[in-house]
């Protein structure tokens, strides 16, 4: 706890001039989304957590108490266009507008590739609906508000969207689509002063990552099965040059930096926070 408090103080001292800005974080009730919401709150921003979790309001209240920031929780189903539009209107009513949007809500297929024929076409539908159409619904709903404030948007993608990861083909393909759409948005919105970037985590201990292990574990021969800790440890050592997990807080720090005026010349970029997993040459 003491170490976390020290880290929080360090993040709060970044002074990114985000005081009184309003940040929306989809998928904000857990994982990287929650870490990002906390990072914004520690910078003095007002934060709206958008999430389908029943604990969204409770999580928002807890975060407000932890950070002494204005935080609200709004139940949202990003696959429903009307739900996203209503959340946008409610947030603008509560906070007067929207300066920053972080899109962290996503799902995996719950199935394991190697090869993709282990899946069926029906395994793709929910992933594409949430990860692609959910992003589309969000972009259409919040863009008018971002134009008013000359705001920013950061889409949380994945290194899987760059390297054609065979682990979960629907997730990989959807994240590639997110990266491409972010570039389209960045070009279209640049004349309005709106910046759009993508952040790609590598190996992060989240429920989504554990779900990848579970899908592998369930289909592996019993003699070859490993615990999550063993499976993940081997993977980290084999593919991550820095040899350690990326943390939700590390991802959040990059997202908040890209949302700040310190990154005012950065748009249409795909930034990896992956310990060197994906290197371009």
Mind telling me the catalytic residues? 171
Tokens 């003491």 belong to 2
CB of 78 closer than 8 Å to CB of 84:
yes
**DSSP single-letter state for residue 204:** B
If you write DSSP's letter for every residue of 224-278 in order, what string do you get? G---HHHHHHHHHHHH-TT-SPBPHHHHHHHHHHHHSGGGTT--S-EEEESTTSS
Q: Which of 165, 193, 159, 195 is nearest to 179 (CA)?
A: 159
Sign for the CA dihedral angle at 97, 77, 124, 28 comes to positive
Tokens 């603008």 belong to 92
CB of 259 closer than 8 Å to CB of 18:
yes
C-alpha 244/C-alpha 157 separation (Å) is: 20
């Amino acid at each position: 706890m003491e170490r976390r408090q020290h880290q929080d103080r360090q993040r709060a001292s970044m002074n990114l001039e985000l005081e009184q800005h309003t940040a929306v974080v989809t998928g904000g009730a857990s994982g990287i989304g929650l870490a990002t919401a906390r990072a914004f709150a520690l910078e003095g921003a007002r934060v709206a957590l958008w999430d389908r979790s029943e604990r969204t309001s409770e999580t928002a209240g807890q975060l407000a108490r932890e950070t002494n920031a204005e935080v609200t929780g709004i139940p949202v189903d990003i696959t429903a266009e009307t739900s996203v539009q209503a959340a946008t209107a409610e947030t603008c009513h509560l906070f007067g507008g929207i300066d920053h949007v972080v899109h962290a809500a996503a799902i995996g297929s719950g199935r394991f590739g190697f090869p993709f024929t282990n899946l069926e076409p029906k395994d793709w539908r929910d992933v594409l609906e949430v990860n692609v159409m959910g992003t589309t619904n969000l972009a259409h709903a919040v863009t008018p508000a971002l134009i008013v404030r000359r705001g920013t948007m950061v889409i949380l993608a994945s290194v899987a969207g760059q390297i054609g990861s065979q682990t979960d083909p629907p997730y990989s393909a959807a994240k590639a689509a997110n990266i491409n759409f972010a570039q389209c948005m960045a070009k279209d919105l640049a004349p309005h002063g709106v910046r759009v970037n993508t952040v790609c985590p590598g190996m992060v201990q989240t429920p989504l990552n554990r779900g990848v292990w579970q899908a592998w574990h369930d289909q592996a021969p019993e003699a070859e099965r490993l615990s999550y800790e063993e499976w993940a440890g081997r993977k980290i050592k084999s593919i991550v040059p820095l040899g350690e997990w990326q943390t939700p807080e590390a991802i959040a720090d990059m997202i908040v930096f890209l949302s700040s005026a310190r990154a005012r010349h950065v748009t249409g970029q795909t930034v990896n926070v992956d310990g060197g997993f994906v290197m371009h040459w």
